Structure 1
């Protein structure tokens, strides 16, 4: 799996976990209110809470696995400058302009090194 694909899946999982946590908080509020209304509604809320907690745990495990895969793909780079660019871009979420400024490189050179790193990582994943 390519570095960009891994990063896209990480972003997707982070958003899904955030949504699940929002639903979880909302369901907790519903459960507190529904205890006074009906036992059936409280039961449904507790079932929904369990399902959300299971989904969050599963997505968190997937997120951890993808993060490890991303770090391994970046660490497999032989060139330390490319490693730094990929780390800043995909782990620290820095824009290319900030990476170029921090490393003292021209923006076009950062783009070239980034493309080389993605190409090398793509060839490593095919092996």
Structure 2
């Protein structure tokens, strides 16, 4: 595309050489991202393989995925994902409260329900999973 064909209100200098091919750029980005995920997120690949329906073909997929995970684990490449997961769980526990905290704050029996002979659990008053009552 020549500068005369551009609709930019700003005068741009002519491009140096040929412009890069967009498909080459996109495929390079996909290959780099795939390699990064294969190295540092092998647990997701293994988890996906474990969820496949049992068959002779899927047994091979599971074996390859589990073997790859063990190799990355030996090289400690699983540590970044484990660290980020623990950080995320800590943030979720701060924001929504953990299950242990909810059990500590469990509500006792409702006196009205005890008089009427009906039972009520602490989860009847809960707003939703993981949310605190306060």
Considering the TM-score relative to the shorter chain, is it more than 0.5? no
Answer with 1 or 2: which has the greater Rg.
2
The structure with the largest helix share of the pair is: 1
TM-score, with length taken from structure 1: 0.30
Higher RCO, Cα 8 Å, sep 6+: 1
TM-score, with length taken from structure 2: 0.29
